[in-house]
């Protein structure tokens, strides 16, 4: 391909929340890093009738509001100069033909084959319509003689196995898997990526990362926010589909998978799929799961309504805003080790955390003296306050032998500074470079849905257990883990937060 030919990044759904809050600020960041070459263009389309100038003003305001880095006026002008806007209706065939013309015009006559990225920042139910419209206008094929065509799909990918399969068939009838980028933005979080390095790049961790040493593992994805302005989507999805099917399953895979042969996308994905296949075969998932929904309560002194009192939510809604489950991975590494996972809205704190709880030491040395030892804990904090803490037992100074757990911390921000890439910055960069490692392959999505369907279907008409907003969830979730003689380890502020001045 000629070097002066543009890359055109087309955003469907450009007036929406995701584009304004995440995509445009992330693209601006890439501009600041000189990752967008001189010919890079951003074509924004959505239903709203707004002039190009009007759209650029909105884009500027969004970048100013949501940018993670300080906005430089000159750079912002340069960035806005790359943006065009066209009103577009997804169900109008003629709009796709116009879009094609516009792309050709932007490419110029000297560039018959350009690099094209299409980002579908649109509700999942519209994906089929858009993909078919693109096909009819011949927008889906890789260009002859060089330029690539890539397409990015947001989560959720379907709402159950059947709809996901249908969606995937539609997509695969026009795109090749190598063109497809399915987003799970959790995979681009620094601490999630760090998991591979931590596990397989350190001889002190990997040998102890298995059933011989680990008693159990907990994964918590907790939010303090409620349903906000996503009522329409959330009331049909719930926590199981919104968080467990994608983020929690991906975290679980990265914690539990065996070492991939290489760091290539396919080898990593192959190992993740092995884990998902094992879980999908479990028979006991349903009896080990808890469905919850928030009742009214209080967070940081603010009175909050119950889920069923939220705007646009059915007063008799049975949707889960909380989910907890115990599951097993029956393979050589993990047979017999329970994984307890939970997620919820309106919980006491916002945190995503993985905790490895080690078995009690076998030595009787201290027990004979009546000294109790705490289990060693390894905390991996994905957000906020990213970092890793190893909690182990140490002697308290003095003549007597007294033992207390102490922390050894790795504070990500203290070491590397506050400017680690935000998920979308990393993901957009990777799409531009054709790296699919941080995107989910179809079989990962398929097996995750198999797991979720096994729970969601029988759950559909079941009453959720209510929990007070601002707590850690329903008491039934405490009982789930409590009957095994264990308890949830609730996220707390690590010691290094003080160093960050928060």
Ligand X SMILES: NC(=O)c1ccc[n+]([C@@H]2O[C@H](COP(=O)([O-])OP(=O)(O)OC[C@H]3O[C@@H](n4cnc5c(N)ncnc54)[C@H](OP(=O)(O)O)[C@@H]3O)[C@@H](O)[C@H]2O)c1
The site for ligand X (CB under 6 A) is made up of 13-18, 46-48, 88-91, 121-124, 126, 154-156
Calpha distance 436→429 (Å, rounded):
11
Residue with Cβ nearer ligand X (19 or 32): 19
- Nearest-approach distance from CB 85 to ligand X, in angstroms: 10
Residue with Cβ nearer ligand X (17 or 303): 17
**How many DSSP H helices and E strands does the chain contain?**
15, 16
Say if CB 156 and CB 390 are below 8 A apart.
Answer: no
Phi, psi of 409 (to 5 degrees): -110, 145
Query: How many Å from the N-terminal Cα to the C-terminal Cα in the chain?
Result: 50
Residue with Cβ nearer ligand X (103 or 306): 103
Q: Which H/E stretch holds residue 331?
A: none
- Nearest-approach distance from CB 317 to ligand X, in angstroms: 19
Token pair, residue 374, equals 């705490």
- Nearest-approach distance from CB 58 to ligand X, in angstroms: 11
Q: Which residue is nearest to ligand X (CB)?
A: 16
Any residues with CB less than 8 A from the CB of 185 and at least 6 apart, and which? 155, 423, 424, 427
- Nearest-approach distance from CB 74 to ligand X, in angstroms: 28
Residue with Cβ nearer ligand X (338 or 421): 421
Secondary structure (DSSP) of 43-76? EEEESS---HHHHHHHHHHHHHHH-SSPPPHHHH
Residue 301's CB: how many other CB atoms inside 10 A? 6
- Any idea which residues carry the catalytic annotation? 247
Residue with Cβ nearer ligand X (234 or 467): 234
- Nearest-approach distance from CB 280 to ligand X, in angstroms: 24
Strands 83-87 and 115-120: unpaired
Residue with Cβ nearer ligand X (95 or 386): 95
Calpha distance 262→122 (Å, rounded):
34
Between 52-66 and 24-32, two packed helices, what is the crossing angle to 10 degrees? 80
Residue with Cβ nearer ligand X (153 or 488): 153
Residue with Cβ nearer ligand X (49 or 463): 49
Sign of the torsion formed by the C-alpha atoms of 305, 306, 309 and 311: positive
Strands 289-299 and 322-328: antiparallel
Calpha distance 84→67 (Å, rounded):
20
Calpha distance 376→371 (Å, rounded):
15
Any residues with CB less than 8 A from the CB of 115 and at least 6 apart, and which? 1, 5, 6, 7, 8, 147, 148, 149
Say if CB 187 and CB 424 are below 8 A apart.
Answer: no
Q: What residues form DSSP beta bridges with 10?
A: 43, 118
- Nearest-approach distance from CB 244 to ligand X, in angstroms: 15
The burial class, CB within 10 Å (0-12 / 13-18 / 19+), for 355 is buried
- Nearest-approach distance from CB 143 to ligand X, in angstroms: 25
């Amino acid at each position: 391909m000629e070097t002066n030919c543009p890359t055109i990044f087309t955003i469907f759904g450009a007036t929406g929340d995701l584009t304004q809050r995440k995509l445009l600020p992330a693209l601006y960041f890439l501009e600041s890093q000189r990752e967008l070459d001189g010919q890079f263009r951003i074509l924004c389309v959505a239903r709203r009738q707004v002039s190009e100038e009007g759209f650029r003003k909105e884009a500027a305001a969004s970048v100013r509001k949501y940018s993670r880095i300080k906005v430089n006026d000159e750079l912002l002008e340069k960035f806005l100069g790359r943006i065009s806007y066209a009103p577009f209706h997804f169900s109008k065939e003629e709009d796709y033909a116009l879009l094609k013309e516009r792309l050709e015009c932007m490419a110029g006559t000297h560039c018959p084959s350009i690099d094209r990225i299409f980002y579908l920042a649109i509700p999942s139910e519209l994906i089929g319509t858009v993909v078919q419209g693109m096909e009819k206008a011949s927008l889906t094929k890789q260009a002859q003689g060089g330029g690539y065509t890539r397409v990015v799909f947001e989560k959720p990918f379907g709402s159950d196995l059947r709809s996901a399969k249908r969606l995937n068939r539609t997509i695969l009838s026009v795109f090749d898997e190598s063109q497809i980028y399915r987003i799970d933005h959790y995979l681009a979080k620094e601490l999630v990526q760090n998991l591979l390095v931590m596990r397989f790049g350190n001889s002190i961790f990997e040998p102890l990362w298995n059933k011989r040493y680990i008693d159990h593992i907990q994964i918590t994805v907790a939010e303090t926010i409620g349903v906000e302005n996503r009522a329409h989507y959330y009331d049909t999805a719930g926590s199981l589909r919104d968080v467990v099917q994608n983020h929690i399953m991906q975290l679980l895979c990265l914690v539990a998978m065996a070492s991939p042969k290489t760091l290539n996308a396919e080898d990593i994905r192959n190992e993740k799929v092995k884990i998902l296949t094992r879980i999908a075969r479990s028979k006991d998932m349903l009896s080990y799961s808890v469905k919850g929904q928030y009742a009214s309560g209080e967070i940081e002194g603010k009175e909050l309504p119950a889920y069923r009192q939220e705007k646009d939510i059915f007063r008799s809604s049975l949707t889960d805003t909380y989910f907890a489950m115990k599951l097993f991975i029956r393979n050589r590494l993990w047979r017999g080790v329970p994984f307890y996972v939970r997620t919820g809205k309106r919980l006491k704190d916002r945190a995503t955390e993985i905790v490895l709880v080690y078995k009690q030491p076998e030595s009787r040395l201290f027990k004979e003296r009546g000294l109790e030892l705490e289990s060693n804990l390894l905390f991996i904090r994905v957000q906020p306050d990213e970092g890793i803490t190893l909690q182990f037992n140490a002697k308290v100074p003095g003549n007597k032998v007294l033992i207390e757990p102490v922390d050894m911390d790795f504070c990500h921000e203290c070491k590397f500074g506050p400017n680690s890439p935000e998920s979308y910055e990393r993901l957009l960069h990777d799409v531009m470079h054709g790296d699919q490692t941080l995107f989910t392959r179809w079989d990962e999505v398929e097996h995750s849905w198999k797991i979720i369907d096994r729970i969601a279907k029988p759950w559909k008409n079941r009453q959720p257990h209510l929990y007070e907003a601002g707590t850690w969830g329903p008491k039934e979730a405490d009982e789930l883990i409590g009957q095994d003689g264990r308890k949830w380890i609730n996220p707390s502020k690590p010691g290094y937060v003080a160093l960050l001045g928060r």
